[in-house]
Structure 1
Amino acid sequence: MTPYPDESAARTLVVRTARSLFTRGLTHGSTGNLSVRLADGTLLLTPTGSSLGTVEEGELSRTDLRGEHLDGPRPTKEAFLHAAFYRARPAANAVVHLHSTHAAAVSCLDGVDPANALPPLTAYYAMRVGTLPLLPYHAPGDGSLEPLAERTARTHHALLLANHGPVIAGPSMEQAADAIEELEETAKLHLLLRGHTTRPLTPEQAAVLAPPSP
């Protein structure tokens, strides 16, 4: 995949994906943000304070790869996080960050493995997400998260922010959105199965399905 060459089509894609995520309950209120990488190297993002259920194509923001605002409304306060993923992952052309209920719930649990917050319960989770590092809590918009997120994103396309929610990058918006939805469903399964003996994929089975490196 290459960066999105047609800005108008990219705006349509961001808004269409935002609507889909919102109407299916994967985000709520004014939480969550999406972005794509354009062919000129700039990023198109949902703006700060917007709802993914109502944001319009003309309301999207543009930043550079440092997260600096270039034009349009003020970008999401987590623009630096999107920029960190794009710098770390040259093949990424879309980033999705949600506060989806079950993934956020896992991010609040005590004793979660910071190296891998969810077990590979299904083959599709192993394929679309792989391992899921849990990053320590930072307040929303806290730029001190940026260097840690960038370092971790070099080897993982999906992260879980403690007491917050997931972030996933993908070669396309469709792939990033599919992956974050798979993550949410696996988090739901994980919570439903708490207290039961589970049979996740073995490390060998998961390794065969693991997503490619950046």
Structure 2
Amino acid sequence: MSAAVATGRDEHRLREEIVHFGRSLFNRGLTAGSSGNISVRLDDGWLLTPTNACLGELDPAELAKLDWDGRHVSGAQPSKEAFLHRSMYEERAGAGAIVHLHSTHSAAVSCMGGLDCEDCLPPLTAYFVMKIGKLPLIPYYRPGDPALGDAIRGLARKHCAVLLANHGPVVSGTTLDAAVYATEELEETAKLFLLLRDLPTRPLNDAQIDELVRVFKLQR
């Protein structure tokens, strides 16, 4: 297990962190209604926000707990998109948390035609390269379709984040705050991409990206 895995002693703190970040994301308009879900890895499974729960009104005691076989251990009924998180965790041993949102600009990009399915947002800023890298686009699946978990599993080992077509992003991080910040960086880059779509742009070139990888020891 990775260093990001929590001991039982840390579980209370992590529950509070999920509530804190959920409220922050909701209050800033990065998620609406009961959309989106957040999870954190534990030593004996993982915590996940409940189904049909507003991220702005979470109760730490009601967060769902699941084991590594996907069984519901305690708390409220887990999100129906639990398999998205499980697929990502199974492929990324270093993932300590996962954030899935329907954030406006990222979701808008996910609905566009003509995207490069292997890398659907250009490297407009160094920070996008540092926190996300390449962002593959996963074809559309209906919400709750278990086949989507298999599609994520096929890409998660090489990518910390994916964009679900006509849906939104799934982003992992070593810690919850890292996953949240990466999700926010993705959303800001999607916003830039949409603002600039009718203008000539100057994305970072291969040499500039290679320099970032070398200097900041990025995993590619």
| SS in structure 2 of the partner of residue 160 of structure 1 | strand
Map of 1:48 onto structure 2: 51
Q: Does 2:181 match 1:174? A: no
Of residues 8, 19, 25 in structure 2, which corresponds to 1:21? 25
Q: Does 2:77 match 1:70? A: no
TM-score, L = length of structure 1: 0.96
Map of 1:86 onto structure 2: 89
Assess if the C-alpha contact under 8 Å between 1:66 and 1:84 holds in 2: no
Assess if the C-alpha contact under 8 Å between 1:32 and 1:98 holds in 2: yes
| SS in structure 1 of the partner of residue 40 of structure 2 | strand
| SS in structure 2 of the partner of residue 53 of structure 1 | helix
Say which is worse superposed, 192-201 or 55-64, in terms of deviation. 55-64
Query: 1:72 deviation in Å?
Result: 1.3
Q: Does 2:208 match 1:205? A: yes
Map of 1:101 onto structure 2: 104
Q: Does 2:9 match 1:2? A: no
Tell me how many residue pairs correspond in the alignment: 212
Map of 1:38 onto structure 2: 42
| SS in structure 2 of the partner of residue 80 of structure 1 | helix
Root-mean-square deviation over aligned CA pairs? 1.1
Map of 1:160 onto structure 2: 163
Give per-residue Cα distances to partners, 1:28-71, cap 9 Å, x unaligned: 0000000000122x010000000001111011001123433222
2: CA distance, partners of 1:68 / 1:83: 11
2: CA distance, partners of 1:174 / 1:153: 19
Map of 1:60 onto structure 2: 63
Give per-residue Cα distances to partners, 1:127-178, cap 9 Å, x unaligned: 0000000000011111011112112001001000000000000100010000
Equivalence map 1:180-195=2 (5 Å): 180-195=183-198
TM-score, L = length of structure 2: 0.93
Gaps of 5+ in 2: none
Say which is worse superposed, 197-206 or 177-186, in terms of deviation. 197-206
2: CA distance, partners of 1:61 / 1:93: 16
Say which is worse superposed, 197-206 or 184-193, in terms of deviation. 197-206
Letter of the 1:4 counterpart = A
Assess if the C-alpha contact under 8 Å between 1:3 and 1:93 holds in 2: yes
| SS in structure 2 of the partner of residue 84 of structure 1 | helix
